[in-house]
C-alpha cells in the first residue's frame, strides 16, 4: 500500500480549534495550570481594556529554553498517552495554544531563563495570510514593546503569556470596558474556587499567590471546612494501583452561616445547585456541583459536598476533556461513590431536619421515634416508653388510654406538608431551637412533684439525667436535685 502525507491546513485547523468552547475563566485557568506545573509560586494577571487591549499572565516558574519554547508553541507538543510528572496539570499538549486563541487572535509567549529571553507568537491573521504553520519569532527589539515585559525581566526565571486582538472578548459587547470588568469578576471567582487549595497552601503542594490587576485572589473553600462536619472518615479507593481519596462534608445549616459565607458558597440558590461531588485533579478543582446522575439535586441534600481527589495518572479512565472542565467517574469508582452517597445524603437530610439532635437509631431515649413501616416508608411516633410518659401513667393508670389517644391525634395531625415547605425555606424554625435551661428545670419539677418521697425523686432524676433533652443540661438537673435535697 502506498502512503500519502496529508498535514492539516493551518488556517482552518487553528480557526476550528478556537471553537473548543472555552469560557474566559477556563482559558485563564489553563494558562495558570502551566505556571503551576512550572513550579511558579506567583502568578500576576493583567487585564487592560483600552487602546491596544490585552490580557497578560506572568509567572515566576522555571521558564523555558529556546527549544522548549518552540515545542511549547507547537500544537500537540506532548502525547496525551505519555506518563506525566505527578504534579503536572497538563495532558494534551494543546492548552497554551487552544485556550489562548479561543479568546484572542494573537498569542505571544515570552520566557526567561537567566540572561536568555525568547519570544514566540501565533498570529491567526498571519497564519491565514501565509497559509501555513508559520510561528513568528520576536527579536530582542520587538520584545521590548510587549506589555508587562518589564515585570518579566525583573525575574531570574519566568514566563509571560500575552493575548492581543481580543476579538472573542469583544464580540457582541457594546461597552467593552464594562464587559471586561464583569469578565474580570467571573475570572476572579473562578480562580478563587478552582485553586483554593493552592492559594491556601495545603500541605504537600506549593502555595501560590495569584493577583488580578494587583489585587490578590483569595481562596474560596467550597466546604467551609472549619465549620462543616466531615460526615465520615476519608475513604480511599484503589483503582489500578492508584489512590482516589473521598472526603464527604456536610455544610453547617444555613442559619449558622454568615452572609459572606453564603455568598462564597454561591448564594442561597447556589447552595442547592452546587451540592454534589467536587473532583480535584492534582488538587486543582476540575468539576463540581454534580452527582453524576447518581442522585437528584434535591433540597434536602443541599448541604452535602464530597471532595474527591484523583491523580493525573487516571486521566484516561475519567475521560478528561481538553478544557479540563469535564470528567466522568469510571464504572468501578461509581460503584463506590454510590455507597458513599447513600450514607452522606442521609446525614445531610438529618442536619436539615434534626439539626443538633442525636440520630434516631442510637441508644438515647428520644421524645419522637422514627419508625420503619413494615410495608414501605417511615412514620413518626411519640415515644410511649419515654420516662415522662411512664411517670404520668404510673401515677394514674387510668390516664393511659386518653393519653395514648391524644398521642395518636398529635401524630396524625403532624402538619407534614407545611413542615416540608418550612424546612426547605432557609428561615430558621423556632421549634428547632434547644429548650432553655429554665424550660428544662420546669419540666423536671413538674415530674418531681408527682413523686411522693425523696428516694423516688432522686431515682427519677438519676434516670432523667441520661435522657434527651435533660442529658444535655447536667447543670439544670444538678440544680433541681440540690433543691429537692434541701427542701425535702
* 11 is an interface residue for Mg ion by CB under 5 A: no
Which of the residues 81 through 120 are near Mg ion (CB under 5 A)? 90, 95
CB of 20 or CB of 205, closer to ligand ATP: 20
For residues 472 and 488, give the distance between their C-alpha atoms in angstroms, rounded to a whole number.
Answer: 26
Give the 3-state secondary structure of residue 220: coil
Min dist. Cβ of residue 64 to Mg ion (A):
13
Query: Measuring CA to CA, which residue among 85, 94, 6 is closest to residue 38?
Result: 85
* Sole binder of ligand ATP in the list 42, 78, 355, 357 (CB under 6 A): 78
Q: How many helices (H) and strands (E) does the chain have?
A: 19, 16
CB of 100 or CB of 264, closer to Mg ion: 100
Residue 317: how many other CB atoms lie within 10 Å: 19
Tell me the β-bridge partners of 451.
none
Query: Measuring CA to CA, which residue among 167, 183, 127, 137 is closest to residue 12?
Result: 127
219 binds, among ligand ATP, Mg ion, none (CB under 5 to 8 A by kind): none
CB of 34 or CB of 365, closer to ligand ATP: 34
Q: What is the dihedral of CA 97, 99, 105, 110, to 10 degrees?
A: -50
* 355 is an interface residue for ligand ATP by CB under 6 A: no
* Sole binder of ligand ATP in the list 26, 96, 310, 448 (CB under 6 A): 96
* 28 is an interface residue for ligand ATP by CB under 6 A: no
For residues 133 and 279, give the distance between their C-alpha atoms in angstroms, rounded to a whole number.
Answer: 36
Min dist. Cβ of residue 282 to Mg ion (A):
12
Q: How far apart are the first and last CA of the chain?
A: 109
Counting residues that bind ligand ATP (by CB under 6 A) gives 20
Q: Radius of gyration of the chain from Cα atoms? A: 31
For residues 361 and 371, give the distance between their C-alpha atoms in angstroms, rounded to a whole number.
Answer: 10
38 binds, among Mg ion, ligand ATP, none (CB under 5 to 8 A by kind): ligand ATP
For residues 29 and 35, give the distance between their C-alpha atoms in angstroms, rounded to a whole number.
Answer: 10
CB of 282 or CB of 301, closer to ligand ATP: 282
CB of 300 or CB of 327, closer to ligand ATP: 327
Element of type H or E holding 363? none
Grid cell of 486 as nine digits = 434541701
Which of the residues 230 through 269 are near Mg ion (CB under 5 A)? none
* 270 is an interface residue for ligand ATP by CB under 6 A: no
Min dist. Cβ of residue 190 to Mg ion (A):
16
DSSP for 277-333, please give it: EEEEETTEEEEEEE-TTSS---STTTTEEEEEEE-GGGTTTTT--TTS------HHH
Q: Is 236 exposed, middle or buried (0-12, 13-18, 19+ CB in 10 A)?
A: exposed
Given the rule CB under 5 A, which of 30-38, 275-283, 339-347, 401-409 is the region that contacts Mg ion?
30-38
CB of 18 or CB of 272, closer to Mg ion: 18
* 123 is an interface residue for ligand ATP by CB under 6 A: no
Tell me the β-bridge partners of 241.
none
Q: Would you put residue 93 in left (φ > 0), alpha (ψ -120 to 50) or beta?
A: left
CA 10 to chain centre: 39
* 60 is an interface residue for ligand ATP by CB under 6 A: no
Min dist. Cβ of residue 72 to Mg ion (A):
9
78 binds, among ligand ATP, Mg ion, none (CB under 5 to 8 A by kind): ligand ATP
* 184 is an interface residue for ligand ATP by CB under 6 A: no
* Sole binder of ligand ATP in the list 23, 93, 147, 229 (CB under 6 A): 93
Which of the residues 148 through 177 are near ligand ATP (CB under 6 A)? 159
* 61 is an interface residue for Mg ion by CB under 5 A: no
CB of 35 or CB of 307, closer to ligand ATP: 35
* 126 is an interface residue for ligand ATP by CB under 6 A: no
Cβ atoms of 277 and 255 within 8 Å: the answer is no
Min dist. Cβ of residue 244 to ligand ATP (A):
20
Given the rule CB under 6 A, which of 84-92, 271-279, 280-288, 371-379 is the region that contacts ligand ATP?
84-92
Tell me the β-bridge partners of 281.
284, 310
Grid cell of 426 as nine digits = 432557609
CB of 63 or CB of 222, closer to ligand ATP: 63
Min dist. Cβ of residue 433 to Mg ion (A):
52
* Sole binder of ligand ATP in the list 24, 61, 219, 276 (CB under 6 A): 61
CB of 281 or CB of 350, closer to ligand ATP: 281
CB of 22 or CB of 249, closer to ligand ATP: 22
Min dist. Cβ of residue 38 to Mg ion (A):
10
Q: Is 260 exposed, middle or buried (0-12, 13-18, 19+ CB in 10 A)?
A: exposed
* Sole binder of ligand ATP in the list 72, 304, 317, 477 (CB under 6 A): 72
Grid cell of 464 as nine digits = 432523667
35 binds, among Mg ion, ligand ATP, none (CB under 5 to 8 A by kind): ligand ATP
Q: What are phi and psi of 459, to 5 degrees?
A: -65, -40
For residues 212 and 190, give the distance between their C-alpha atoms in angstroms, rounded to a whole number.
Answer: 12
Residue 338: how many other CB atoms lie within 10 Å: 14
Binding site for Mg ion (CB under 5 A): 34, 90, 95
Binding site for ligand ATP (CB under 6 A): 30, 34-35, 38, 59, 61, 63-64, 72, 77-78, 90-97, 159
Amino acid at each position: 500500500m502506498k502512503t500519502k502525507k496529508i498535514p492539516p491546513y493551518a488556517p482552518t485547523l487553528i480557526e476550528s480549534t478556537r471553537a473548543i468552547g472555552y469560557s474566559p475563566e477556563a482559558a485563564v485557568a489553563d494558562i495558570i495550570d502551566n505556571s503551576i506545573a512550572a513550579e511558579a509560586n506567583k502568578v500576576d494577571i493583567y487585564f487592560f481594556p483600552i487602546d491596544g487591549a490585552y490580557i497578560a499572565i506572568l509567572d515566576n516558574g522555571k521558564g523555558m529554553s529556546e527549544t522548549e519554547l518552540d515545542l511549547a508553541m507547537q500544537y500537540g507538543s506532548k502525547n496525551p498517552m505519555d506518563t506525566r510528572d505527578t504534579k503536572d496539570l497538563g495532558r494534551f499538549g494543546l492548552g497554551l495554544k487552544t485556550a489562548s486563541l479561543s479568546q484572542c487572535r494573537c498569542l505571544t509567549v515570552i520566557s526567561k531563563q537567566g540572561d536568555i529571553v525568547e519570544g514566540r507568537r501565533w498570529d491567526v491573521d498571519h497564519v491565514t495570510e501565509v497559509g501555513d504553520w508559520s510561528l513568528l519569532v520576536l527579536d530582542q527589539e520587538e520584545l521590548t514593546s510587549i506589555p508587562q515585559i518589564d515585570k518579566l525581566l525583573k525575574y531570574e526565571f519566568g514566563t509571560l503569556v500575552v493575548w492581543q486582538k481580543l476579538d472573542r472578548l469583544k464580540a457582541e459587547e457594546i461597552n467593552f470596558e464594562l464587559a471586561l470588568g464583569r469578565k474580570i469578576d467571573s475570572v476572579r471567582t473562578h480562580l478563587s474556587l478552582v485553586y483554593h487549595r493552592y492559594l491556601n497552601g495545603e500541605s504537600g503542594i506549593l502555595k501560590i499567590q495569584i493577583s488580578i490587576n494587583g489585587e490578590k485572589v483569595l481562596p474560596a473553600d467550597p466546604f467551609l471546612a472549619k465549620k462543616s462536619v466531615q460526615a465520615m472518615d476519608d475513604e480511599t479507593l484503589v483503582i489500578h494501583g492508584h489512590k482516589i481519596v473521598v472526603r464527604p462534608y456536610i455544610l453547617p445549616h444555613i442559619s449558622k452561616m454568615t452572609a459572606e459565607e453564603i455568598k462564597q458558597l454561591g448564594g442561597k440558590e447556589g447552595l442547592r445547585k452546587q451540592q454534589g461531588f467536587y473532583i480535584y485533579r492534582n488538587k486543582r478543582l476540575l468539576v463540581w456541583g454534580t452527582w453524576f446522575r447518581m442522585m437528584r439535586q434535591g433540597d434536602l441534600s443541599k448541604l452535602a459536598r464530597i471532595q474527591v481527589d484523583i491523580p493525573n495518572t487516571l486521566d484516561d479512565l475519567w475521560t478528561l476533556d481538553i478544557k479540563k472542565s469535564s470528567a466522568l467517574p469510571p464504572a468501578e469508582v461509581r460503584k463506590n461513590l454510590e455507597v458513599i452517597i447513600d450514607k452522606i445524603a442521609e446525614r445531610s437530610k438529618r442536619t436539615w431536619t434534626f439539626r443538633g439532635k442525636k440520630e434516631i437509631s442510637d441508644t438515647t431515649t428520644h421524645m419522637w421515634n422514627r419508625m420503619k413501616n413494615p410495608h414501605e416508608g417511615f412514620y413518626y411516633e411519640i415515644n410511649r416508653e419515654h420516662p415522662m410518659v411512664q411517670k404520668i401513667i404510673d401515677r394514674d393508670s387510668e390516664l393511659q388510654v386518653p393519653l395514648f389517644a391524644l398521642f395518636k391525634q398529635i401524630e396524625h395531625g403532624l402538619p407534614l406538608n407545611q413542615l416540608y415547605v418550612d424546612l426547605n425555606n432557609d428561615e430558621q424554625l423556632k421549634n428547632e431551637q434547644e429548650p432553655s435551661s429554665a424550660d428544662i428545670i420546669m419540666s423536671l419539677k413538674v415530674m418531681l412533684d408527682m413523686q411522693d418521697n425523696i428516694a423516688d425523686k432522686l431515682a427519677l432524676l438519676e434516670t432523667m439525667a441520661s435522657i434527651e433533652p435533660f442529658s444535655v443540661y447536667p447543670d439544670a438537673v444538678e440544680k433541681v436535685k440540690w433543691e429537692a435535697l434541701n427542701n425535702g
